[in-house]
Chain A
Amino acid sequence: MNGHVVPVKTYLAVFVALICFTLLTTAAAFVDMGRMNTVVALAIAVTKMLLVILFFMHVKYSPGLTRIVVLAGFFWLAILVALSLADELTRWWSPAAQPWGFLLPFLTGWR
Chain B
Amino acid sequence: MAAHPVHPPGFAHQFVDMDQQHASGNLGMWVFLVTEIMFFGGLFASYIIYRALYLPAFETGSRLLDVRFGATNTAVLIASSLTMALAIHAAQTGKREAQVLFLVCTMLLGAAFIAIKLIFEWHHDWVDGLVPGLNWGYQGPHAHGVQLFFCFYFFMTGLHALHMVIGIGILTVLTIMAARGRFNEQYYFPLEISGLYWHFVDIVWIFLFPLLYLIGGRYAMGGPHG
Contacts and interface: CB of A to CB of B under 8 A. Distances in A.
A binds B: yes
Nearest to B40: A77
A44 B85 CA distance: 22
28 contacts: A5-B89, A8-B89, A11-B82, A15-B81, A15-B82, A22-B75, A22-B78, A25-B214, A26-B71, A26-B214, A29-B218, A31-B219, A32-B220, A37-B214, A45-B209, A45-B210, A48-B206, A49-B203, A49-B206, A57-B199, A62-B26, A66-B23, A69-B31, A73-B30, A81-B44, A81-B48, A85-B48, A85-B52
B157 interface: no
B19 A11 contact: no
A19 B45 contact: no
B30 A52 contact: no
Interface in B53-109: 53, 67, 71, 74-75, 78-79, 81-82, 84-86, 89, 92-93
B215 interface: yes
B116 interface: no
Contact of B203 (A52, A63, A66, A88): A52
A107 interface: no
A72 interface: yes
Interface of B: 18-19, 22-23, 26-27, 30-31, 33-34, 37-38, 41-42, 44-46, 48-49, 52-53, 67, 71, 74-75, 78-79, 81-82, 84-86, 89, 92-93, 186, 188, 192, 195-196, 199-200, 202-203, 206-207, 209-210, 213-215, 217-220, 224
Contacts of A15: 78-79, 81-82
A52 B199 contact: yes
Contact of B30 (A8, A31, A70, A77): A70
Contact of A84 (B49, B78, B202, B206): B49
Contacts of B33: 73
B93 A19 contact: no
Contacts of B79: 15
Measured as residues with beta carbon below 8 angstroms from the partner, the interface class of chain A is 35 or more
A59 B19 CA distance: 16
Given A32-B219, A66-B27, A69-B30, A2 B22 contact: yes
Nearest to A62: B26
A42 interface: yes
A19 B26 contact: no
B190 to A, nearest CB: 13
A19 B38 CA distance: 27
A3 B18 CA distance: 10
A88 to B, nearest CB: 5
Contacts of B199: 52-53, 56-57
Nearest to B50: A88
A29 B219 contact: yes
Interface in A1-38: 2-3, 5-6, 8, 11-12, 14-15, 18-19, 22-23, 25-26, 28-32, 37-38
A55 B196 CA distance: 11
A29 B74 CA distance: 15
Closest 5 CB pairs of A and B: A73-B34, A41-B210, A29-B214, A77-B41, A32-B219
